[in-house]
Amino acid sequence: MKQSDLTSDGAGRAGLACASARPGRRTSGSAFADLPPAPDDPLLGFAPYVHRAPRRNSITPERQRAFIAALAATGIVTQAARSIGASLEALYRLRHQPGAEQFSEAWDRAIDRGIARLEDCALERAIMGEERPIVRGGEVIGTWRRHDNKLLMFLLRQRRPQRWFSEAGAFASLRPGHPVYERLRREWLGEDGQSEAEVLAEIDAMIMEMAERKDENERLLAGWAAEDAGAVEAD
Residue 107 burial by Cβ neighbours in a 10 Å radius (0-12, 13-18, 19+): buried
Question: Does residue 101 or residue 223 have the better pLDDT?
Answer: 101
Cβ(34)–Cβ(117) below 8 Å: yes
**pLDDT, tens digit (0-9, with 9 covering 90-100), for 102-126:** 999 999 999 998 888 888 888 888 8
Check pLDDT > 90 for residue 209: no
Q: Are 104 and 136 in contact (CB under 8 A)?
A: no
Global confidence as pTM:
0.51
Q: Are 27 and 121 in contact (CB under 8 A)?
A: no
Sequence-ordered list of residues with C-beta below 8 angstroms from that of 62, at least 6 positions apart, any chain: none
With bands split at pLDDT 50, 70 and 90, how would you rate the model's confidence at 45?
very high
Q: Residue 147 in contact with residue 129, Cβ under 8 Å?
A: yes
